């Protein structure tokens, strides 16, 4: 990875109609891992996240809760969305709210430019709209509800709620002008949309024809006013997409804008179309560069369906972090699911992986190595001498893992990067079993060999701390301190591409003691902790109630 490149990564901005669930946290963690990795690779990194606060959905939620949309948004942002970032340790550089004055100013500049350049016209919109999706719908996006409250009514396939029939005078964006330009973009930059499955779906969609897009609404006023017509507010998606440039100074701070843009857009595949069709068309119209990439990750499934609050299958991140901790939360979702594919969440799988991989695999390795250096060398990292084949094999594993993990991150294959790094954990555990340092410690003639074995394991852990710091920052930092590695600088200042270079930990460094990084969690039933079991039962009951 070349040093000093700009790496600007943005998550979607989340609706504040409700509190966050683990699906939202999943996107945040993935973006955070990528940002931390790039930061530690010397790239000029910027991580943006934020909230999407305008539109009918938020307005209705506020009204239903007897308050104003602004007061509702303020409450949700301060009580739920900002605390989420803290709770899952997100290292965002900025947080944009679409109610920020900086956003409103820049949205107006952008719209005025498109209007002046002839890309916006006034027209008549007649058709369907789903407030749940905040999206104009075609007939084949809808079904007739077979039963329940809405029996016989046309409902949105995603939200299963009745759609609105609109007949409004609106402003339109000439999106149809960009059909061929978009297809050319997808052809000439095959990795513009990833993964392949999302790319294929979007290419099909664009090939089937693009219509102009209605970009204003006049039947309510919770939004940003169209600069030349006060009776209209900007369609919420058209405005929300602009956050990626309004947050970095579009129209107001050219230097910052030039430094950051274009971004990598990380989104759930449900909203890849907005990001890979409407968004680049808007940017092309404004003569701006399109994003570097749009990556549509998969869904977290619960009981085989996309987990969502509206279907009552939402799980709050706190339900998991309270029992397993923040790092386990981050590690689990990044390692257990192939990034780009859907993944089923289950408490049993989480608990099993926590114990096998984090408690027994990694945590135990760290505890044993630190304890042995304390016991056999009075807490000073021993020097190595006379490396034999088994030691050199560890060095090669560490070197290869670094290279492979870095290449995997370049491809957004976070799970593959973790698998490569885990090869080091397994190799070190196997090495300790074979080298039997406890046996060497009983034989004075083996003192040097014991030193080499323990240096090899400690230096392997040094590399692991660096490679794992983007994923499990707190535990990696505890390990860093316990290894006495702070003399090399702060962990977050260590270069990831250089992590595989052998021999960085200084002999003589003073190791500390270390509490178990991932303590075992006692559970009433095999594999399922008490709080988790209760939460799982509640979620299952809620899901059953919905499907009943």
The binding site for ligand MSP (CB under 6 A) comprises 12-15, 23-24, 26-27, 52, 240-241, 243, 267-268, 270-271, 299-300, 306-308
CB of 24 to ligand MSP, least distance (A): 5
Q: Where are the alpha helices (DSSP H) in 411-529?
A: 414-435, 437-440, 447-468, 473-482
Sheet of strand 293-297: strand arrangement: 94-97, 44-52, 6-15, 264-268, 293-297, 193-194
CB of 291 to ligand MSP, least distance (A): 12
Using alpha carbons, list the distances in angstroms from residue 221 to 123, 127, 186, 224, 265: 19, 20, 36, 8, 29
CB of 125 to ligand MSP, least distance (A): 21
Q: Where are the alpha helices (DSSP H) in 51-195?
A: 56-64, 69-76, 82-87, 101-116, 179-188
Q: Is the CB of 170 or the CB of 308 nearer to ligand MSP? A: 308
Q: Is the CB of 163 or the CB of 272 nearer to ligand MSP? A: 272
Residues with active-site annotation: 21, 24, 130, 133, 156, 159, 306, 309
Of 293, 454, 275, 491, the C-alpha closest to 374 is 454
CB of 155 to ligand MSP, least distance (A): 18
Separation CA 211–CA 226 (nearest Å) = 21
CB closest to ligand MSP, residue no = 23
Q: Is the CB of 242 or the CB of 328 nearer to ligand MSP? A: 242
Exposure string for 454-477, b = 16+ CB within 10 A, e = fewer: bbbbbbbbbbbbbbbbbbbbebbb
CB of 503 to ligand MSP, least distance (A): 42
Q: Is the CB of 412 or the CB of 455 nearer to ligand MSP? A: 412
CB of 108 to ligand MSP, least distance (A): 17
Q: Is the CB of 15 or the CB of 362 nearer to ligand MSP? A: 15
∠ CA 437-440-446, nearest 5°, is 130
Using alpha carbons, list the distances in angstroms from residue 117 to 61, 64, 214, 277, 281: 37, 40, 17, 20, 14
3-class DSSP state of 381: coil
Q: Is the CB of 191 or the CB of 270 nearer to ligand MSP? A: 270
Using alpha carbons, list the distances in angstroms from residue 187 to 18, 174, 203, 279, 491: 38, 22, 9, 17, 41
């Amino acid at each position: 990875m070349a040093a000093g490149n700009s790496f600007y990564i943005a998550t979607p901005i989340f609706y504040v109609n409700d509190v966050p669930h683990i699906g939202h946290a999943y996107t945040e963690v993935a973006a955070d891992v990528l940002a931390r990795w790039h930061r530690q690779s010397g790239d000029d990194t910027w991580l943006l996240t934020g909230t999407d606060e305008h539109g009918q959905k938020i307005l209705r939620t506020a009204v239903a809760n007897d308050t104003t949309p602004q007061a509702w948004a303020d409450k949700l942002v301060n009580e739920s969305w900002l605390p989420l970032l803290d709770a899952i340790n997100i290292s965002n550089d900025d947080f944009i709210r679409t109610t920020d004055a900086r956003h409103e100013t820049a949205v107006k500049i952008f719209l005025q430019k498109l209007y002046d350049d002839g890309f916006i016209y006034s027209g008549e919109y007649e058709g369907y709209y789903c407030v749940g999706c905040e999206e104009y719908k075609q007939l084949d996006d809808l079904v007739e509800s077979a039963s329940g409250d809405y029996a016989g009514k046309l409902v949105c396939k995603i939200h299963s709620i009745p759609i609105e029939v609109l007949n409004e005078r609106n402003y339109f964006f000439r999106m149809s002008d960009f059909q061929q330009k978009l297809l050319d973009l997808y052809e000439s930059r095959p990795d513009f949309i990833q993964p392949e499955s999302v790319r294929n779906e979007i290419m099909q969609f664009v090939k089937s024809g693009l219509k102009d897009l209605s970009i204003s609404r006049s039947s309510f006023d919770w939004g940003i006013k169209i600069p030349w017509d006060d009776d209209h507010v900007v369609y919420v998606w058209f405005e929300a997409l602009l956050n990626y440039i309004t947050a970095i100074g579009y129209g107001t701070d050219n230097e910052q804008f030039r430094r950051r843009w274009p971004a990598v857009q990380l989104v759930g595949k449900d909203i890849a179309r907005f990001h890979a069709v409407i968004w680049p068309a808007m940017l092309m119209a404004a003569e701006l560069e399109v994003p570097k990439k749009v990556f549509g990750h998969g869904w977290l499934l619960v009981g085989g369906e996309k987990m969502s609050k509206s279907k009552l299958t939402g799980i709050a991140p706190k339900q998991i972090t309270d029992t397993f901790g923040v790092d386990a939360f981050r590690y689990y979702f990044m390692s257990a699911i192939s990034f780009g594919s859907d993944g089923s969440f289950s408490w049993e799988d989480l608990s099993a992986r926590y114990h096998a991989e984090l408690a027994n695999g990694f945590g135990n390795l760290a505890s044993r190595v630190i304890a042995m250096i304390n016991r056999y060398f009075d807490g000073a990292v021993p020097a190595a001498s006379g490396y034999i084949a088994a030691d050199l094999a560890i060095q090669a594993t560490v070197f290869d893992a670094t290279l492979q993990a870095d290449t995997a991150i370049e491809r957004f294959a976070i799970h593959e990067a973790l698998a490569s790094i885990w090869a080091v954990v397994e190799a070190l555990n196997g090495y300790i079993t074979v080298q039997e340092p406890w046996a060497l410690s009983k034989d004075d003639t083996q003192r040097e060999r014991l030193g080499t074995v323990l240096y090899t394991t400690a230096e392997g852990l040094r590399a692991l701390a660096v490679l794992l710091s983007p994923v499990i920052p707190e535990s990696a930092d505890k390990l860093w301190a316990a290894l006495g590695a702070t003399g090399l600088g702060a962990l977050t200042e260590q270069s990831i591409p250089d992590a595989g270079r052998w021999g960085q930990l200084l002999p003589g460094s003073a190791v500390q003691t270390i509490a178990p990084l991932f303590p075992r969690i006692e559970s009433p039933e095999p594999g399922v902790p008490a709080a988790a079991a209760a939460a799982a039962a509640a979620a299952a009951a809620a899901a059953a109630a919905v499907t009943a």
